[in-house]
Amino acid sequence: MSDSLWNTLTSSEDFFLLAGPCVIEDKETVLSIATRLKGIGELYGIPIVFKASFDKANRSSISSFRGPGLEKGLEILKEVKDETGLPVLTDIHLPSQAEPVSMVCDIIQIPAFLCRQTDLLVAAGNTGKIVNVKKGQFLAPWDMENVVKKVESTGNKKIMLTERGTSFGYNNLVVDFKSFPIMSTFGYPVVFDVTHSVQLPGGLGDKTGGQREFIPYLAKAAAGCGAINGFFFEVHEDPERSKSDAANIYPLNKFGSLIESMLKIWRASLGNC
């Protein structure tokens, strides 16, 4: 599916979506969210890739929920594919995880904190799958050119680059919209991770805070700015009960209306950027 999915994502006139819960909590929750996301994609005629993590290895606290682990997590993601037909994405933290993840997932994601880890990037590239690399909060957008070259060294040219905010002092992130056209010059799709960009990393002491109320503003502004191909959202049916990123995850019951607004702005701005 990797090649056909790549063609679908790169040829879409509208934006594509990478969306789902932060972490795999349980099979029932994941399948419910995936089913509703599939309906949103069909309603608005846009490609959707389901995302969820089998392990959140960079949680703030040692006691934070991390997920079901590699083996169980991949079983659940395979069920999502089989039952909904949606392509799936998950992130890896170790080079040894690349191959087993590639047996199930259509997109392998490199977390922002690990975006310069050469062995991890090469392992992901060697799978032949689409590789989505999140720009580190500590990197300038032009620094991502070296990241791209690491994946390209494997012969894999199915690369996406995701903006998720830049550290601005302590416990705060800002989005520099200049990063989108800068990263687009590398010749690969650019994605905007809206929900992680409103995080307040470590802002609650033993967990990350966030400002969910600003998600619609950033999303709609980005929909009209050009140089973006897709959007990344973490969504949940009950955000306050999410076991990860509760402060910045977006309510699923409001997601469809936000996408509708974004599409109107996107289509109105085509050819004007």
Q: Would 144 be classed as within a structural domain?
A: yes
Q: Would 230 be classed as within a structural domain?
A: yes
CA dist 120 and 171 (Å) reads 27
Radius of gyration over every alpha carbon of the chain, rounded to an integer in angstroms: 17
In the predicted structure, residue 58 carries a pLDDT above the cut 80: no
Domain of 78, in residue numbers? 2-267
Q: Would 146 be classed as within a structural domain?
A: yes
Q: Structural domain tally of the chain?
A: 1
CA dist 152 and 149 (Å) reads 5
Task: State both tokens at 78.
Answer: 């395979």
Closest CA to 160 of 89, 72, 75, 254: 89
CATH number at residue 219: 3.20.20.70
CA dist 210 and 170 (Å) reads 13
Reported as a pLDDT band with limits 50, 70 and 90, residue 62 is confident
Q: Would 199 be classed as within a structural domain?
A: yes
Q: Would 30 be classed as within a structural domain?
A: yes
147-184, pLDDT tens digit by residue?
999 999 999 999 999 999 999 999 899 999 999 999 99
Q: Would 21 be classed as within a structural domain?
A: yes
Kindly report the backbone phi and psi dihedral angles of residue 197, in degrees, each rounded to the nearest multiple of 5, phi listed first: -75, -15
Residue 271 has a pLDDT of 54
Residue 202 has a pLDDT of 77
Tell which wins on pLDDT, 203 or 176. 176
